[in-house]
Chains A and B, each alone.
Chain A
Amino acid sequence: MSYNLYQHVAEAPTRPGTRQAKKSFDVADLFRGPAPVVEESKGGEEPLDEKLRQAYFWIVNHAVISPHYDIEYNDKPPQVFSFGDSKTQVTLPSSQSYSSFVLLPLLNFAVRRRCLLVGGPGRGKTATAILMGILAGYSLKEVRRGIQHGQPQMTISDLLGNPLPADLVNAQSMDDIRVSWRSWLGMRVKIIDEYNRIPTRTQSALLTVLADNYAEVLDHVYECPPAAWFLTANDDGGGGTYQVIEALRDRIDVVVRALHFNTRFFGEMLTRIEEGIRPEEVVPPKLIFTPAQTERLYQEIMAVELPSNLRRRLEFFASQFEFFEPGGEQVEYKTKDCLKISGIDPHVLGDQSGKDQLKDLGFQTQNGLSVRAILSILVFVKAMAYFRGDGIVSLEDVRQILPFVLHDKLVPDHNASFFEAPGNGSLRVDRVSWIRKLFDMANAEYDRLDLDRSDPVAELDAEFKQGLEGLKAPEVKKRLVKIERQLADMAKGRKMYGHLYDDILLLKYLHQRYTNYLSWLQWQTH
């Protein structure tokens, strides 16, 4: 049993709601008071969202100097101040807000995905990753041993393990060769420091572990447990010693930037040096998650509800980017994906559709959203809502999380007219704000189209999802006519946008399913 210090784990509730009237006095309160009674985590039924918030507050208050509250929540209109000729706005959030540099790694720890920490040297990237390892219950020594330091000479054996030399000599078959696997493969928190300094061939071996959760050496396979990954890089532009292979980059679920060091915290830094403060040495035991708790944490996050109207907004947002009208002749191939495969510069094809290039969000990106990106969004928005103690994802949760998930996934087209518009130049650099703006613009369009109240395509889809079983031919024909009418209505608009493109393809899909079903019905009756 270890005792907690005054390390001041934030006292529950860390996100207070309405105070409940206390019904009776409990003699257990006798032992509550100024001296903190801290028992080690028992892995029981303690509320894990509260524990996660306590871990967050402990890290921001004591471990990592990150005085940036860039994930802003407001429950009433915030105070806003403007500075300088550029009218730089500073918002004072009216609700509990967070530092992305600490929060996102913590959420990644909770949902066991892959987080890339990017930023200059000495900004606390590795320190943050180490803290995540300690939260998972590993000792500081174990975490340090488990870190894989990217370096140009790193081999696959360095990364995964070696065949035992004696077996190599005596073995009659590959099965006889035992492999000494590296211990980090079995850890629930995996840290790859400076991953862009790993040689390309070794990156491929890393990809197998990162993507498929197993390692392979000489036909021997090591199955890794579910783990939260933390990769660090000093340069996210692929400017490390080696270019990061695209498949590896694509597996990163969330990207967090280490923001600059605020010089007002110089004194804090000095104290740490003078006093030899090493916060990772004194993480309160109360904050450690047992393996069972980590599993329960994940299950509870997955149980957070994403309401259908919000899901629809997300669909609308995601549908904006893949469509590229000049990209193909047949409608299915009018995508940026086709364009990318062809290797042709999109500007060579041009876009003669006459659409407003400032309003059509598709013009701002070079690609659409991959399935992996959408999966990551769904997982992290749930984690965000859970962290705030909510059982349902809110629009603001999505708005705050999207930029970090899509940071490296949505590639801006810097030649787009949008970035030329007054005030938008800085969005070429500031991807977090750019993606948030994209989402705001998509929402505004969604509201303008009044899709919450009137979405005929969604109605047709819902009708289809009720199933075809027992459906009679007249009803099928009626639905086919409805689909055709809907397509005709949409065609009157003359311009084709990303969200319409997905709707049109859905309607085509529904039409085909009904047509096939009708053919089958007619075959049965003859």
Chain B
Amino acid sequence: MANSLAVLEKELMANRERYNTLFALAKRARPRLDEERFLANLKQFVAPLISESTDALIGPLYELTLELTGLELFQRSPAVATLWTELLPAASSRLASQPGVIAASLTNAVYNLEREQGVDWKFWLKQMEKCQSQCPESETWLKAGQVLSWVCGMAHYRESAKALAESLPSELAETLVPRWDAVRDDPWWSRRPAPGRVAKVHKVGGFVGFGGEFRRPPEVVAAGPNQFIVSDGTDDWLLSCDGFGATLKRVVEFEMEDVEKSDISVCDGEIIWSGQKFPFPEISKIGTFDVAGQVLVCTGALSHHVHVFLGTAVG
């Protein structure tokens, strides 16, 4: 660490005019940028990533740290701080080739994962470190990160993540998506209940005053395979769901797709399917519901939450 600090200090002294200009410009753009905090961040987050052989990292990481300090992301986002103290030191050899691209891309990734309700960013960081050995190229590693984001719950990325996984070596795809051979055809595979049964798989949404999305109890309508439009009368949201997660994304215009018909229905806290009744007390005061294939989505008459159920057909 002492050596790293010496390398950092040497580089900053050697190009002090440039670094001072960068700081001054950043300060103009973000007047709250604090010099002391920035220096502390440099020591805490950047210094561990550099050595004498990787002093070329300092310039790009200095600029990125300046930006992240200006946004106070190291302080506000535990995911970003964890990335910089755990994953990036473990990947310091990769940073040498494309420091700006890799560090910034991963920072954005954990930031986005952290902001998504129900998405496990810690698992993402863990898996990213784990799959490093299978990704000799940094580009492949970043692609792996994109696929992993879907596995961690970013359901709206499903189609593009699946396409990306197809392009990766099969062993790596299997590491990233357990039972990739099955999940490829059935995105619900990991959560599928026994044949003939119905299970509750996700609960999303919530009142806007408590950090959720909806101002009023929403209504739902099926919009295509594994996707539904949920509306609170003010905004429309696309609910994307699969075995890994469910996400709500605001949409302005959306093209509805054909939906597979189903005989699933809901009545007085029970889901009725193929003559069988499955009790679920949380939907006793049902608002609206709709079905796409074997996926049922219900909203409550007095609740701001959206419930996602999954059935498995017999045979």
**A residues near B, CB below 8 A?**
1-8, 19, 21-39, 62, 271, 275-279, 281-282
Contact (Cβ within 8 A) B108 A37: yes
Known contacts A3-B60, A5-B67; A38 and B100 CB within 8 A of each other: yes
Contact (Cβ within 8 A) A26 B18: no
Question: A280's closest neighbor in chain B, by CB?
Answer: B21
Q: Which residues of chain A come closer than 8 Å to B253, judged between CB atoms?
A: 21
Contact (Cβ within 8 A) B100 A276: no
Sample 6 A-B pairs with CB under 8 A, ordered by A number.
A3-B64, A6-B25, A27-B147, A31-B109, A275-B24, A276-B17
Question: Is B246 engaged at the interface, CB distance under 8 Å to the other chain?
Answer: no
Q: Which residues of chain A come closer than 8 Å to B109, judged between CB atoms?
A: 30-31, 33
Question: Is B160 engaged at the interface, CB distance under 8 Å to the other chain?
Answer: yes
Question: Is B20 engaged at the interface, CB distance under 8 Å to the other chain?
Answer: yes
Interface footprint category on B: 35 or more
Binds A, one of B68-76, B169-177, B273-281: B68-76
Contact (Cβ within 8 A) A25 B25: no
Question: Is B26 engaged at the interface, CB distance under 8 Å to the other chain?
Answer: yes
Interface string of B114-156 (1 = CB under 8 A from A): 0000000000000000000000000000100111011000101
Question: B155's closest neighbor in chain A, by CB?
Answer: A25
Distance between B200 CB and nearest chain A CB, rounded to angstroms: 25
Q: Which residues of chain A come closer than 8 Å to B24, judged between CB atoms?
A: 271, 275-277
Contact (Cβ within 8 A) B101 A1: yes
What is the CA–CA distance of A5 and B60 in the complex, to the nearest angstrom?
A: 8
What is the CA–CA distance of A62 and B150 in the complex, to the nearest angstrom?
A: 39
Question: A268's closest neighbor in chain B, by CB?
Answer: B28
Q: Which of A4, A30, A37, A276 is in CB contact (< 8 Å) with B112?
A: A30
Q: Which of A24, A30, A39 is in CB contact (< 8 Å) with B101?
A: A39
Q: Which residues of chain B come closer than 8 Å to A5, judged between CB atoms?
A: 22, 25-26, 63, 66-67
Question: B156's closest neighbor in chain A, by CB?
Answer: A25
What is the CA–CA distance of A363 and B253 in the complex, to the nearest angstrom?
A: 59
Q: Which residues of chain A come closer than 8 Å to B302, judged between CB atoms?
A: none
Known contacts A6-B25, A277-B21; A34 and B71 CB within 8 A of each other: yes
Known contacts A25-B157, A276-B24, A277-B24; A6 and B107 CB within 8 A of each other: no
Question: Is B98 engaged at the interface, CB distance under 8 Å to the other chain?
Answer: yes
Question: Is B293 engaged at the interface, CB distance under 8 Å to the other chain?
Answer: no
Interface string of B251-287 (1 = CB under 8 A from A): 1111100000000000000000000000000000000
Contact (Cβ within 8 A) A25 B160: yes
Q: Which of B21, B60, B147, B149 is in CB contact (< 8 Å) with A275?
A: B21
Q: Which residues of chain A come closer than 8 Å to B28, judged between CB atoms?
A: 271
Contact (Cβ within 8 A) A1 B100: yes
Distance between A33 CB and nearest chain B CB, rounded to angstroms: 3
Question: Is B29 engaged at the interface, CB distance under 8 Å to the other chain?
Answer: yes
**Interface SS of chain A: helix, strand, loop or mixed?**
loop
Q: Which of B97, B150, B159, B252 is in CB contact (< 8 Å) with A1?
A: B97
What is the CA–CA distance of A140 and B97 in the complex, to the nearest angstrom?
A: 24
Q: Which residues of chain A come closer than 8 Å to B106, judged between CB atoms?
A: 31
9 closest A-B pairs by CB: A3-B100, A33-B108, A3-B60, A275-B24, A21-B253, A5-B63, A31-B105, A27-B157, A35-B104
Contact (Cβ within 8 A) A2 B59: yes
Contact (Cβ within 8 A) A30 B25: no
Q: Which residues of chain A come closer than 8 Å to B59, judged between CB atoms?
A: 2-3
**Interface SS of chain B: helix, strand, loop or mixed?**
helix
Known contacts A25-B156, A277-B25; A35 and B64 CB within 8 A of each other: yes
What is the CA–CA distance of A243 and B267 in the complex, to the nearest angstrom?
A: 94
Contact (Cβ within 8 A) A35 B68: yes
Contact (Cβ within 8 A) B63 A28: no
Contact (Cβ within 8 A) A26 B25: no
**B residues near A, CB below 8 A?**
17-18, 20-30, 59-61, 63-64, 66-68, 70-71, 73, 97-101, 103-109, 111-113, 142, 145-147, 149-150, 154, 156-157, 159-161, 164, 240, 249, 251-255
> Which of B28, B73, B159, B240 neighbours the largest number of chain A CB atoms within 10 Å of its CB?
B28
What is the CA–CA distance of A3 and B59 in the complex, to the nearest angstrom?
A: 8
Contact (Cβ within 8 A) B100 A281: no
What is the CA–CA distance of A27 and B105 in the complex, to the nearest angstrom?
A: 12
What is the CA–CA distance of A197 and B131 in the complex, to the nearest angstrom?
A: 66
Contact (Cβ within 8 A) A25 B240: yes
Contact (Cβ within 8 A) B108 A30: yes
Contact (Cβ within 8 A) A36 B67: yes
What is the CA–CA distance of A279 and B204 in the complex, to the nearest angstrom?
A: 48
Q: Which residues of chain B come closer than 8 Å to A39, judged between CB atoms?
A: 100-101
Q: Which residues of chain B come closer than 8 Å to A26, judged between CB atoms?
A: 157, 160
What is the CA–CA distance of A36 and B251 in the complex, to the nearest angstrom?
A: 25
Contact (Cβ within 8 A) A4 B100: yes
Contact (Cβ within 8 A) A27 B71: no
What is the CA–CA distance of A198 and B84 in the complex, to the nearest angstrom?
A: 57
Question: B247's closest neighbor in chain A, by CB?
Answer: A25
Contact (Cβ within 8 A) A275 B100: no
Contact (Cβ within 8 A) B21 A6: no
Contact (Cβ within 8 A) A6 B67: yes
What is the CA–CA distance of A34 and B66 in the complex, to the nearest angstrom?
A: 12
Q: Which residues of chain A come closer than 8 Å to B27, judged between CB atoms?
A: 275
Q: Which of A2, A22, A27, A34 is in CB contact (< 8 Å) with B150?
A: A27
Q: Which residues of chain A come closer than 8 Å to B25, judged between CB atoms?
A: 5-7, 62, 277, 279, 282
Contact (Cβ within 8 A) B21 A33: no
Q: Which residues of chain B come closer than 8 Å to A271, judged between CB atoms?
A: 24, 28
Distance between B87 CB and nearest chain A CB, rounded to angstroms: 14
Contact (Cβ within 8 A) B252 A21: yes
Question: A3's closest neighbor in chain B, by CB?
Answer: B100
Q: Which residues of chain B come closer than 8 Å to A33, judged between CB atoms?
A: 107-109, 111-112
Contact (Cβ within 8 A) A34 B101: no
Question: B80's closest neighbor in chain A, by CB?
Answer: A35
What is the CA–CA distance of A19 and B22 in the complex, to the nearest angstrom?
A: 34
> Which of A23, A26, A33, A39 neighbours the largest number of chain B CB atoms within 10 Å of its CB?
A33
Q: Which residues of chain A come closer than 8 Å to B159, judged between CB atoms?
A: 24-25
What is the CA–CA distance of A38 and B101 in the complex, to the nearest angstrom?
A: 7
What is the CA–CA distance of A275 and B26 in the complex, to the nearest angstrom?
A: 11
Distance between A64 CB and nearest chain B CB, rounded to angstroms: 14
Q: Which of A4, A6, A37, A62 is in CB contact (< 8 Å) with B105?
A: A37
Question: A19's closest neighbor in chain B, by CB?
Answer: B252
Q: Which residues of chain B come closer than 8 Å to A24, judged between CB atoms?
A: 159-160
Q: Which of A21, A34, A37 is in CB contact (< 8 Å) with B100?
A: A37
> Which of A1, A4, A7, A30 neighbours the largest number of chain B CB atoms within 10 Å of its CB?
A30
Distance between B246 CB and nearest chain A CB, rounded to angstroms: 13
What is the CA–CA distance of A5 and B29 in the complex, to the nearest angstrom?
A: 11
What is the CA–CA distance of A31 and B144 in the complex, to the nearest angstrom?
A: 12
